Homo-oligomer: A and B are copies of this chain.
């Protein structure tokens, strides 16, 4: 393997990485799909007992490496290994230990365990970094239990008041029938820290996140590493159509106000509009009332998830959908339906920091230099835009941030069979190590640290 001239040739231990990853997945494992003990998915919902247990296990591992632990008022866990200058803010490797109810063993978990492996590698070689380097576990990234995604990095970055996060209630009632708030559950599992959850109280020098791609691109193109340059803009809407419920057998087609038919037309059109702009559009939920085989629904609601790397094109897609939907509502089935758009969430496009992108590029180039050239153009890494939301989107508002993607089998994520090969996990962790060490050197060179 080629080495960069300016960072030491440290290598992560890939078997230790995978052993620890699967050990951590003993907490909250669920949904077996094969005979091997690691052939299960995960159900480690934020702040449940399994999440409490894995947090305690993780802290123990980090403490054994000499890390200092800080827990903030959102339960975010910062484990920091001191550098030569231990007063400047640390460079953090962050991701999440919580999963979807039918989640897998890699989403979030890989980033957390790769971060731990990087710290272990530094510890084993007694490497003295210029500044401090650590890992952070962001609470309830998935938004699967408490329905605000990346809620705790949002609070840290100042995008969301902590009171709004604290009072967020779990989606599904607990076994005792109650629906508890994040605050109640933080207190219950003992992870309500005293430290304010804020970029000012707990500053970060730079944030690096290793994550599975959760899409098919790297696998399809037979590449190993995605160097993420930013995140797509995305907006969620609920579109509400009101027509009239009438009998399927007695209402002539021309006399109908069929809300389901209007919704179907809109979904088909929205798909064409997104494709024409190289954007993404998805309807994941359609609900109707009354919902009977032989009765037209008077009301149909459907969700729209619209995404594009450019805020401008994103706005164009939305605008065209609004115009086209209005036209469909006006003429549908000859008697028309009413139409209402409700915006559920809006996130502008994110651009990661060029310094972070550069050190990841260098580390990716280095790490993949000696591997077989499997892709068509021979390059094993590529620039990518993150389609999914991540805690790194929030950190990027407050500190230089970068992300590294690894291939994901069949592009599948949020499902028990989610998979990233051990080889690919190791490559990702190695790139993470390389990027963090380069960034550590860089900030020393830039005079951002106090010389001792």
Q: Which residues of A contact B (CB under 8 A)?
A: 102, 213-217, 220, 232, 234, 236, 244-253, 255, 258, 260-261, 263-265, 267-268, 271, 274-275, 280, 282-286, 288, 290-297, 303, 305, 307, 344, 386-389, 410-415
Q: Are A305 and B246 in contact (CB under 8 A)?
A: no
When distances are taken between beta carbons in the complex, the residues of chain B under 8 Å from A283 are 260-261, 264
Q: Are A247 and B215 in contact (CB under 8 A)?
A: yes
Q: Are B248 and A282 in contact (CB under 8 A)?
A: yes
Q: Are A412 and B246 in contact (CB under 8 A)?
A: yes
When distances are taken between beta carbons in the complex, the residues of chain B under 8 Å from A274 are 253
Q: Are B411 and A249 in contact (CB under 8 A)?
A: no
User: What are 20 A-B contacts defined by CB distance under 8 Å?
Assistant: A215-B249, A215-B251, A216-B251, A216-B252, A244-B410, A245-B414, A246-B411, A248-B282, A248-B284, A249-B305, A249-B307, A249-B387, A251-B387, A253-B275, A253-B280, A260-B267, A264-B283, A268-B268, A285-B292, A285-B293
Q: Are B288 and A286 in contact (CB under 8 A)?
A: yes
Q: Which of A215, A246, A252, A294 has the most CB of B within 10 A?
A: A294
When distances are taken between beta carbons in the complex, the residues of chain B under 8 Å from A250 are 213-215, 386-388, 411, 413
Q: Are A292 and B288 in contact (CB under 8 A)?
A: no
- Top 5 nearest A-B pairs (CB, nearest first) are A215-B250, A249-B387, A250-B387, A248-B282, A264-B267
* Docked complex Cα distance between A252 and B281 (Å): 10
When distances are taken between beta carbons in the complex, the residues of chain B under 8 Å from A252 are 215-217, 280
Q: Are B260 and A284 in contact (CB under 8 A)?
A: yes
* Docked complex Cα distance between A267 and B263 (Å): 10
* Docked complex Cα distance between A284 and B216 (Å): 35
Question: Which residue of B245, B249, B255, B413 contacts A415 across the interface (Cβ within 8 Å)?
Answer: B245
* Docked complex Cα distance between A355 and B415 (Å): 64
Question: Which residue of B248, B255, B267, B290 contacts A305 across the interface (Cβ within 8 Å)?
Answer: B248
CB distance from A299 to the nearest CB of B (A): 12
Question: Which residue of B280, B291, B296 contacts A282 across the interface (Cβ within 8 Å)?
Answer: B296
* Docked complex Cα distance between A234 and B249 (Å): 8
CB distance from A437 to the nearest CB of B (A): 29
CB distance from A274 to the nearest CB of B (A): 7
Give me 19 other A-B pairs in contact (C-beta within 8 A), A102-B290, A248-B282, A284-B292 excluded: A214-B247, A215-B247, A215-B252, A244-B410, A244-B412, A248-B280, A249-B305, A249-B389, A253-B275, A253-B280, A260-B286, A268-B268, A284-B293, A284-B294, A285-B288, A285-B292, A293-B344, A294-B388, A295-B414
CB distance from A433 to the nearest CB of B (A): 25
When distances are taken between beta carbons in the complex, the residues of chain B under 8 Å from A388 are 247, 249-250, 294
